[in-house]
Structure formats: C-alpha cells, structure tokens
Amino acid sequence: MSLSTDDRRAQESGTPPVKTRAAAGDRPVTKDMPLRHRLRRDRTLILMTLPAMVLLLVFAYIPLAGNVVAFQDYDPYIADNAFQAIAQSPWVGFEWFQQMVNDRLFWSALRNTLTIFLLQLTLFFPVPILLALFINSFVRPRVRAVAQAILYLPHFFSWVLVVTVFQQMFGGAGLIAQTLRENGHEGFDLMTDPGLFKFLITFEMIWKDAGWGVIVFLAALAAVSPDLYEASAMDGANRWRRMWHITLPALRPVVALLLVLQVGNALTVGFEQILLQRTAVGPGASEVLDTYVWNVGITNGGFSYAAAVGIIKGIFGLLLVLGANKVAHLMGEQGVYKK
C-alpha cells in the first residue's frame, strides 16, 4: 500500500497517520470470508436486487443466445417457433461478417453514427451542465421552479411531435421561411438539407432533452454544502472563483460518470428521431447503425445479417466503455466501476 502525501508528511513529523478513508473503515474485509457467510450477511441486499436481475436475465441475457443466427442463414418462417427455426437453418460461419466488410452501406452507416456521436458529445453534452449552473444561479425558488418546468417540458413530447414542430418552424413551408418570403426575401428549407442534417438532429435533441439532463447536475449541486460558499465568500472569493473552486469540482465526478456512460452508448445515437426524417434527407446523410439494422432485419427480413451488424456494434460499444472507464481512472475519477 502506498501512502498519500498527507500520510507521508504526517509520518515525517512524528504524528500517527490519519485514516483518510474512515468511512470505508467499518466495512468488513470480504476477501477471506467464505461465500456462504457473505451470502448470509448480504441476504437482504441480494433479495432486493433479485427482481432487477430477473429482468436483466430474461430481457437481456437470454435473448443474447439468439445471436447465433448471425452465423446462420436464418429463416424464421421455416418452422413453428424460433428454436426449431434456428435448429433447421443452415450454418454459414462468418460469411455475413465478411459481407459486412464489403458493404458500402454499412460503412456509411458507421461513419454517420460516429459523426453524430461526436457532434452530440461536443454540442449536446455541455448544455445540461451550463443550464444547471444557470438555474442554480436563481435565488428565488419560484423563478427556479418555473424555469425548471419549462426546460423539462419538451422531454415529454414524442419524436413525431418534435419533428413536426421543427418542420412547421424551419421547413420550406414553415413559419420562418414563409415570413421571409412574404417580406420579399428568399425562403429556406432546413429540414431537407442533407449537409445540415447532423446539426439539425443535434439541435432537436438539445431542444427536447437538454432540460431533462439538468436534473442529475442539479442534484449534484444541491449536495454541495452552503457552508463552503459562505466560507469562501468570507475569504473574499468572488462569484467566478466560487464557481471554479467549489461548484465545478462538485460536478466533476458526475460529469465523468455520465461521460463514460455516454461513450459506451456512442453507437446508439437515436433511432426514432432519425427514422422519421430519413426520407427528408436520404439514407446517405441519415442512416445510422440502428436504422440500418432495422431496415435490413425488420423491414427486409435479413435477420442474420442484421444480427451480425448488431454483434459488431455490441463489441465496439463494450470496448468503448472499457476504454472510457480506464481514462476516467487515469483522471482520478471513480468511473462506472472499479476493481
């Protein structure tokens, strides 16, 4: 065990080292305890997680076995149920994966997915943090409540509605274009421009969900003791210094956690939203991995190929989570989990 600088300094000065992790100290050491004892000790906790475990098992882990169809030429219709159909479908090895390598549309979908992810990371991710700081700066609870309610509201709109609202506002026959035309200017059509599409959907996402994302950050801010602010104010720290030294550090673990989670979801950049606007800009600009899987698998019945694409997406996502978690550790944060 290495000693922290504080401990070392304490040793040098002759005073006994202070146990910095006092809170964790009352947790019994589990390593040497037999499994049986541990089970008995944590019985209540295990029982409480059981329903969630069952859900996960039934809806996530068991269906994972269905991935075998990626190595078959699977036809779900040749037998009475999926198990028989899997048993009867011929095996084709890695043929679908080889196909994927040569599939122009797959690469285009992957490229679009990553571009949209990067845009979301740079444009969407910071917005809830800024909004949280903004709301936090309101002192009067009433104003604060109203501001929060207004910001949360769009989260409860369906994507169909959001897309329609955007079409009515920014479409070629929308409010803005029409007003421009009536006043002798050129109209414009934001909704059918493939070049702007990725920005458009990021913008839609900010409008719809940034307010909702604020909740987590507000909770983190609420946990900061007001004493700290008062003390620093007494010491002459101005508004900006207080934010820099108290508010932002308080948000740091939450930001790191969400960032890791976000990276893990890098290949899931939105489905319904993109599917709804696919024709408006064409698949070249809008096809992402999820819509591609949907079109190949569900719409065209290419279940095996879609499953193969899904597997690749899953593996890639897992690697990204592990990588991001590692980075979080290097930055001294907790991340999603720690060994």
Partner 1 sequence: MTPNSPSAPSRRRFLASSVVVAAAVGGGMPLLTACGGGSGGAKNEGTTTGKKLKDILPAYVPSKAVTPDIPSKNGSADGFTTALPADQLAVSVPKKLGQGSELRVMAPLWGTSPGDGNPYWKAMDEAAGVTVKWQNQDGNVYGQKLGAVLASSDIPDAVVVPGWELGGKIPSAIANKFADLGPYLSGDKVKDYPNLAAIPTGAWQRAVFAGKLRGLPMPAEATPNITPFYRADIFEEKGYEVPTTTQEFYDLCKEINAPKSKVWACSDMTWSAFVFFGVLPEKPYYWKLVDGKLVNRYETDEYLEALEWSRSLYSAGFVHPDAKAETGDMRTTFSSGNVLMYNADISDWYAATAVQRLDKPEFRMGAMDFFAAAGGDPVIYEASPSNIWCFVNKNADKKTIQDVLALANYTAAPYGTKEQRLKAYGLEGTHHTLKDGILVKTEQGNNQVFATYEYVASPAPFRAYPDFPDVAKGVIEWQQRQGAHLKKPLFHGMQIQEPTRYTELNAQFEDLEKDIVRGRKKVGDMQQAVSDWKTKGGDKLRDWYKKLLDETGESAS
Query: Which class for 131: exposed (0-12), middle (13-18), buried (19 or more C-beta within 10 A)?
Result: buried
The residue range among 114-122, 220-228, 235-243, 275-283 that interacts with partner 1, by the rule CB under 8 A, is: 275-283
CA distance 135 to 325: 30
Asked if 279 is part of the footprint of partner 1 (rule: CB under 8 A), the reply reads yes
| AA letter at 328 | A
The residue range among 16-24, 99-107, 117-125, 217-225 that interacts with partner 1, by the rule CB under 8 A, is: 99-107
Q: Which of 300, 310, 289, 288 is nearest to 69 (CA)?
A: 310
Asked if 131 is part of the footprint of partner 1 (rule: CB under 8 A), the reply reads no
| AA letter at 31 | K
- Using DSSP, state whether 337 is helix, strand or coil: coil
Asked if 120 is part of the footprint of partner 1 (rule: CB under 8 A), the reply reads no
Reported as type and span, the H/E element at residue 307 is helix 303-330
Task: Extract the runs of DSSP E, i.e. beta strands, from the chain.
Answer: none
Q: Which is nearer to partner 1, 197 or 217 (CB)?
A: 197
Helix 248-264 to helix 126-136 angle, to the nearest 10 degrees? 150
Asked if 282 is part of the footprint of partner 1 (rule: CB under 8 A), the reply reads yes
Q: Which is nearer to partner 1, 187 or 317 (CB)?
A: 187
- Using DSSP, state whether 161 is helix, strand or coil: helix
Asked if 66 is part of the footprint of partner 1 (rule: CB under 8 A), the reply reads no
Q: Which is nearer to partner 1, 229 or 271 (CB)?
A: 271
- Using DSSP, state whether 91 is helix, strand or coil: strand
The neighbouring-strand residues paired with 72 are 91
- Options 276, 288, 307, 312; binder of partner 1; rule CB under 8 A: 276
| Footprint on residues 201-240 left by partner 1 (CB under 8 A) | none
**What is the distance in angstroms between the CA of the first residue and the CA of the last residue of the chain?**
15
Q: Which is nearer to partner 1, 174 or 264 (CB)?
A: 174
Asked if 58 is part of the footprint of partner 1 (rule: CB under 8 A), the reply reads no
The residue range among 20-28, 164-172, 201-209, 328-336 that interacts with partner 1, by the rule CB under 8 A, is: 164-172
236-256: burial string, b at 16+ Cβ within 10 Å, e else: ebeeeeebeebbeebbeebbb
Asked if 71 is part of the footprint of partner 1 (rule: CB under 8 A), the reply reads no
Residues that bind partner 1 (CB under 8 A): 73, 75-82, 85, 90, 92, 95-96, 99, 102-105, 160, 163-164, 167, 171-174, 177-178, 181-182, 187, 189, 191-192, 194, 275-285, 287, 292, 295-296, 298-303, 305
